[in-house]
Structure 1
Amino acid sequence: MRRTHEEDGDPARAPSGTPAPDPGHAASGSPAADPARAPASGTPAGDPVRAPSGTPTGAPSGTPVSGTPAVGPARAASGTPAAAPAPGTSAPVPGTPAADPGTQRLGHGPLRYGPALPGSGLSVPPGIVRAALAAAGTEEAAPVGGGPDLLRAAAGYWERRGARARPDRIAAAPGGAPLLLAVAAALGGDVLTPRPCPAWWLPQARLLGRTTYTVPTPAECGGVPDPYALLETVRRVRAEGGDPRLLVIAVADDPTGTVAPPELVHEAVEAAAGAGLHIVSDETWRDTTHPASHGREPEPARPAGMAPDRVTVLVDLAGALLPGDWPAAVARFPATAGGGALHDAVLDVLAGTGARIAAPVAAAARHVLTEPAEVTARTTASARVHGRIAAAVHDTLRRAGVLALPPTAGRHLYADLGPLRAALAARGVTDAQELEDHLGTLLGMPAPGGHRFGDALTSLRVRLDTAAFLGTDPRLRAQALTVPDPLEMPQVKRALTRCATALDGLRADARRREPTS
């Protein structure tokens, strides 16, 4: 049986459209029910974990805790050994209800407002700007779900990737968050995600008052749940009267920056479909895979081809193709009667919430979805730059004793500083929020903590965004697209040196605190 991150304790391991059936029905293929098993709540008893506001947790088992972090021992970051449970806590269960982290300490702002998707740090290609400006003078309101030209462009985008796409089964919205919220509202029921997951997923379910459950990922990658843990979570939730209906996955993941192997995606999709779940496959980062130093770059799997009647594909264009503050996203629903009904229900939610894409942004979205040469060249060049920086940052982390999976997509990577816990504690850093503050100061760049991505506040994990290593000068950032090696640019060298110096200092402190034999 494959180990999950919560079970992986080997330090030498190399990181390498339909509602669910009756809630009381056991998941197909799930382990046999055991009356003696613990409940699915995943909230272990013991000493409370401190909330960001300084108040202890104390919610009943099995319910989300407003204003507190998820209770439980820190889970190891993707591909890393699991941390030991905190004193007074029990071992984790396969799936835990995600607690609403609520409001951070004064000065940090509400957690639900950030962090944003990792940006490219590069200028907007001229063709995208021209497309937006050409539509800026119109007063005509865009249709709910996107106009015909935008929907045809989205269909062409998917068809070029080998997927059948019908414009009448596609919907567009002003960003991935409103679109995911509409899908969750249309489906109803509880929501499951991998742990960790993108910061913008869980708030959508919370806005609807839905219970969300986070499930451990395999040790090899992020983005998809371990299939056995998923089935066990579904079984327990239904045994307690819950109603799990939706699983959200990402074949190219935020925050870990990994691409899930096709066989793991297939196992997770097969388990979810057998359990009667609908699946949203977030493929925002599909087009940002890093060029491989040898062989072919990783090709993300296609969940919709594995369970075509149960998978809705979502792409937030502000990830790979548009600037981060130009909100536009598209979703492709199953080409079945059930998929059509879900599509129509999503349009109803979008209409009720007034979620229309502004005309200039819709025009820009249509432009990038047709993939002119300028856009594809920029996407390729950007992936090369961010892939080089991500690999260098990962090497810096590894040499300092920090745990992280090698990033293969996106503009980010996920670091677990658990091995440096003693050194950090000596500096007053004992949780993810304090680590976010401390590293942000040390590195001179944002370092959002793992608690923002569904991990426990007690974990010492952060996401590092590669765009921050390009500096702040737009002119120098643009040069990164054309230089032979962006790592040779002065501002990139300075940022990498600052990162290495900060982490090496922590590593040295940790070694001084190691017990002598």
Structure 2
Amino acid sequence: LLAAYDGDVLMPRPCPASWTPQARLLGRPAYQVPAPADAGGVPDPFALLETVRRIRAEGGRPRVLLLSVADDPTAAVAPPELVREACEAAVAEGLHIISDETWRDTLHRPHETVLLSPAEMWPDEVVVLSDLAGALLPAAWPMAAARYPATDAGTALRARTLDILTALGAMVAGPVAAAAAHALDEPDAVTARTLATAALHGRLAAAAYHAVLASGALAFVPLAGRHLYADLGPLRGPLSRLGVTDSMELENHLSRRLEVPVPGGHRFGDALGALRVRLPTGPLLGATPEQRLKSLTSAAPLELPHVVRALGRFGAVLDELR
């Protein structure tokens, strides 16, 4: 999709780990614009305007804005007013918008969280992208969907994207395509399972969030997805005595102690010196398929012995950092 556009790419900071490398593989300049301190996935509108003007002054051609209203990595859901202001600024500057909505079906409390898609405001300017492995398909099944504007320009963009996919030999396997089509029809069983899974991850994320705060660190309030984004800057002194002085060392330390991958904030565009990490909630469900299924079907999943142990270990590892 990025290859089908021509020009420089802008995105929020922090952002999904794959975005910047994808732009660089295409030889496209990529610029990160800070997101507001209390929201992730959408750039600050004023910083966006300033960045666009600076790029043009330096001879660049800003063309595309990538954003995610239900964000990876921060697990935040951008407020509708921020989405509106950022998209207004982007459209006014002639930018096309790609809205990555992979995690929109993983809202922890869907009846309490307002998620506004840019495509609802500017349907002729926005392509909506969704990796179905976010909420509907197993992670090992590669399948994504893009929804284009119902305009001549949208039709041409879709055709260019299909040409590029064909040249790359990027085909969807038949069994995966059939499963995806079934899931996208939203039968009751799939919808119920999706809602239950999102609610369960919400409860786990809330417990993990409180453990992070109890350790003296900070974190975004998790509203979607299967992780939370923590800032361990307040623990810099004790961490330095453990030999942890940047996010790469923090990633290595926590991945070793928690025995799961814990990517540092530098992978999402944050400064290496910022002690930030993305903490997954999936491992808290259990270590085996049987434990994970039991967690999903239990009326009181946080009281299951394997979940209690996992949360206890999570809290203990964070307490060590003090």
TM (normalized to structure 2)?
0.98
Asked if structure 2 preserves the Cα contact closer than 8 Å seen for 1:443 and 1:495, the reply is: no
Equivalent residue number for residue 214 of structure 2: 399
Equivalent residue number for residue 61 of structure 1: none
Equivalent residue number for residue 261 of structure 1: 79
More helix by share: 2
Task: Say which of 130, 140, 149 aligns to 1:315.
Answer: 130
Asked if structure 1 preserves the Cα contact closer than 8 Å seen for 2:286 and 2:295, the reply is: no
Question: Structure 2 counterpart of 1:227, which letter?
Answer: P
Alpha-carbon distance in structure 1 between the residues aligned to 2:284 and 2:296: 14
- Superposed structure 1 runs of 4+ greater than 6 Å apart: none
Alignment of 1:361-376 (within 5 A): 361-376=176-191
Asked if structure 2 preserves the Cα contact closer than 8 Å seen for 1:289 and 1:297, the reply is: no
Question: Structure 2 counterpart of 1:286, which letter?
Answer: R
Task: Say which of 344, 368, 386 aligns to 2:201.
Answer: 386
The yes-or-no answer on 1:417 pairing with 2:235 is: no
Question: Structure 2 counterpart of 1:197, which letter?
Answer: C
Equivalent residue number for residue 219 of structure 1: 37
Aligned residues: 322
- State the superposition RMSD in angstroms: 1.1
Q: CA deviation at 1:220?
A: 2.0
Alpha-carbon distance in structure 2 between the residues aligned to 1:213 and 1:194: 8
The yes-or-no answer on 1:486 pairing with 2:304 is: no
Task: Say which of 357, 371, 377 aligns to 2:172.
Answer: 357
The yes-or-no answer on 1:506 pairing with 2:282 is: no
The superposition leaves residues 44-71 of structure 1 with CA deviations (integer Å, 9 ceiling, x where unpaired) of xxxxxxxxxxxxxxxxxxxxxxxxxxxx
The superposition leaves residues 246-293 of structure 1 with CA deviations (integer Å, 9 ceiling, x where unpaired) of 11000100011111111110111111101110000001101100027x
Task: Say which of 431, 438, 441 aligns to 2:256.
Answer: 441
Alignment of 1:166-185 (within 5 A): 183-185=1-3
Question: Structure 1 counterpart of 2:120, which letter?
Answer: G
The superposition leaves residues 465-508 of structure 1 with CA deviations (integer Å, 9 ceiling, x where unpaired) of 1111112121111011221222111122112111222222222x
Q: CA deviation at 1:193?
A: 0.6
Alpha-carbon distance in structure 2 between the residues aligned to 1:302 and 1:291: 17
Larger RCO (alpha carbons 8 Å, 6+ apart): 1
More strand by share: 2
Bigger-Rg structure (1/2)? 1
Q: CA deviation at 1:351?
A: 1.2
The yes-or-no answer on 1:228 pairing with 2:43 is: no
Q: CA deviation at 1:297?
A: 2.6
> Secondary structure, in 3 states, of the residue corresponding to 2:129?
strand
Equivalent residue number for residue 331 of structure 1: 146
Unaligned 5+ runs, structure 1: 1-182, 508-517
Equivalent residue number for residue 344 of structure 1: 159
Q: CA deviation at 1:444?
A: 2.4
Equivalent residue number for residue 192 of structure 2: 377
The yes-or-no answer on 1:290 pairing with 2:105 is: no
Alpha-carbon distance in structure 1 between the residues aligned to 2:95 and 2:83: 15
Alpha-carbon distance in structure 1 between the residues aligned to 2:46 and 2:109: 32
> Secondary structure, in 3 states, of the residue corresponding to 1:481?
helix
Task: Give % identity.
Answer: 62
Q: CA deviation at 1:454?
A: 1.3
> Secondary structure, in 3 states, of the residue corresponding to 2:2?
helix
Question: Structure 2 counterpart of 1:482, which letter?
Answer: T
Alpha-carbon distance in structure 1 between the residues aligned to 2:128 and 2:29: 22
Q: CA deviation at 1:299?
A: 2.8
Equivalent residue number for residue 195 of structure 1: 13
